[in-house]
Structure 1
C-alpha cells in the first residue's frame, strides 16, 4: 500500500523510470516551472549515478530546514514521495508557509504530481489526504491549494479532500482545506 515518505535512495531505479515518463510527455522544458520541471533541468544530468542521486535526495530533504539557503521568495518545504515499497508513484510538497507576494497566493501550501504511468488510480487523492495531518503537524490548520482552471483531475482531487473554492485568480482556482 502506498505511503508518503521522505525521499530515499532506495527508489532510485523507479524514480529514474518516472522521470523518463515525465520527459516523454514533454516535461522539463524552459516553460515548465513545476517542481518536476525544475528538478529535471537542474539534476537530470547527475542523478543517474548513485552518488548524484544521493546528492539530489539530500537536497530535497534539506528543503524542510529553515536554515537551508534557497532562492529569494522560496520557503521551507517538506518534500515527500508517494511510494509503494520502492516504486515511485508521485511527489507532494508542503510549504511551511505561503511564499511572499503573489507567488504564495498562486502556488499555495501543497503541490503534488503523480507520474504519468500511475495516473487515474486515485493516487493524488490519497496523497493529499495523507498530507493533511502532516500539514496540521507543521502548524497549518488550514491550507491553500491551487490548480489550473483546466485541470479537472486536480480540481476533483482537491474537492474530494474537502476543498472549498475560494476564488479564481487568472488561470488558477484557489481552494482552502
Structure 2
C-alpha cells in the first residue's frame, strides 16, 4: 500500500475514525487511547467530543502539560492513507505506573481490521521507535498476547528481544488479563 503516512491526531479524520471503530466490534483499539474519551465522558461519535479527545492526545505530548492522575505523558501517531484512518501507535514517555511496567509497556499500537496484513503495524511501531529515540529513551518495553503471532513478529522485526512470557496466573489477578503475555525490550542506542 503506497501513500501511507504517520501523522499527529486530527479532528478532520472524525468520519474515518468512526468507521474504523465499527470494525473493532467492541474490542479495545490498541494504541488509540480511546480510554481517555471514556474517562472524560466524551462520545467519540460526537464531533465536538472527538475534537476534545484529539486535543488531549496532542496535549499529552507537550512537556508542560500535566497528564490526568494515573497516566503519563505520551505521543500518539495515526497511520493514514489519504483521508482514511488506518490505525494508531502510542508511545508512553515513561513506565510510570504498575500497569505500564508489567503489562502496557512503552508502546501500544493497533491497525484497523480491514487494513491488516499490509505490514502497517511495522510502520506504526517504527515511527514510535523514532519518537522514543528523539526523546532520548535508551530502550523501550513492548508486550503482546502470547497468541498474537503477528504482533510478536512485528516487534521482533523491529529489534524486539523476548524477555519473558508471563503466565496469566501472574498478571491476570492484578490486571484482568486472560492470556499469557510476551514481554519484549528494544534497545534504541
Whether contact under 8 Å (2:4, 2:82) holds in the other structure is: yes
Aligned residues: 171
Q: What is the TM-score of this pair, normalised by structure 2?
A: 0.80
Q: What is the TM-score of this pair, normalised by structure 1?
A: 0.85
State the shift of 1:8 in Å: 0.4
Q: Which runs of 5 or more structure 2 residues have no equivalent in the other structure? A: 168-179
Task: Please give the alpha-carbon distance, in whole angstroms, between the structure 2 residues aligned to 1:114 and 1:159.
Answer: 17
| Candidates 151, 155, 167, aligned match of 1:154 | 151
Give the secondary structure class of the aligned counterpart of 1:47. coil
Alignment CA distance shift 1:70-1:55 (3 Å) = same
Task: Please give the alpha-carbon distance, in whole angstroms, between the structure 1 residues aligned to 2:123 and 2:139.
Answer: 18
State the shift of 1:52 in Å: 2.0
Give the secondary structure class of the aligned counterpart of 1:143. strand
Partner of 1:109: 106
1:5 and 2:2 matched: no
Alignment CA distance shift 1:95-1:41 (3 Å) = same
| Candidates 48, 65, 68, aligned match of 2:66 | 68
Task: Please give the alpha-carbon distance, in whole angstroms, between the structure 1 residues aligned to 2:161 and 2:19.
Answer: 35
Q: Please show how residues 11-160 of structure 1 align to structure 2 within 5 Å.
A: 11-22=13-24, 24=25, 26-27=26-27, 38=35, 41=38, 46-66=43-63, 67-72=65-70, 74-160=71-157
State the shift of 1:41 in Å: 4.3
Task: Please give the alpha-carbon distance, in whole angstroms, between the structure 2 residues aligned to 1:37 and 1:7.
Answer: 12
CA deviation profile, 1:135-166 (whole Å, cap 9, x unmatched) = 10012132111111111111011011111111
Task: Please give the alpha-carbon distance, in whole angstroms, between the structure 2 residues aligned to 1:84 and 1:27.
Answer: 23
Moved over 3 A (4+): 32-37, 39-45
With 35-44 and 121-130 compared, the bigger mean Cα shift is at 35-44
